[in-house]
Copies of this chain bind each other. A is one copy, B any other.
Amino acid sequence: MNIENAQVQMRKGILEFCILHIISRGEVYASDMLEELTSARIMVVEGTLYPLLTRLKNAGLLDYKWVESTSGPPRKYYLLTETGQASLKGMNDTWQELSDSVNSIVSKTDKHKAAINGLTTVESPAPAAETSPDTPSGEN
């Protein structure tokens, strides 16, 4: 997949985790969540956030209350339910383990490159590998 698509795919599961974190700090409405995601360089828009909030509400992880605004329509302020807090605890572990796993693989590659280059950190292109024609069975 191309880089943009890779970014989309890598956000799956992550966005919910981030949202639960943001809401866990106290009641907050959608626009504030978007601001914080943007400042953390996770670029999402309302069309992504509202369906996610609805899904989390329906799954029992969130509750909300309407609050009148002094400058526009009323707003939904969200907070975590106890289910949501429990879910967030679990996802903390999930994220930590996944992140450790990925970083251990990445650092093995970096060490491998360092070893090949005699401890220099300059990356040199690997020699192009020859592709032999398929043998036992045809192209899949």
Contact = CB atoms under 8 A, between A and B. Distances in A.
Interface string A20-40: 011011110000000011001
Interface in A95-122: 95, 97-106, 108-109, 112
B3 A42 contact: no
Contacts of A79: 129
Contacts of A140: 54, 57
A22 B105 contact: yes
Q: How large is the interface on A (under 10, 10 to 19, 20 to 34, 35 or more residues)?
A: 35 or more
14 contacts: A3-B91, A10-B94, A12-B12, A21-B106, A25-B108, A26-B112, A37-B105, A65-B130, A65-B131, A65-B132, A66-B134, A85-B125, A95-B102, A99-B99
**By DSSP majority rule, is chain A's interface helix, strand, loop, or mixed?**
helix
A92 to B, nearest CB: 7
A14 B98 contact: yes
A36 B105 contact: yes
Nearest to A82: B128
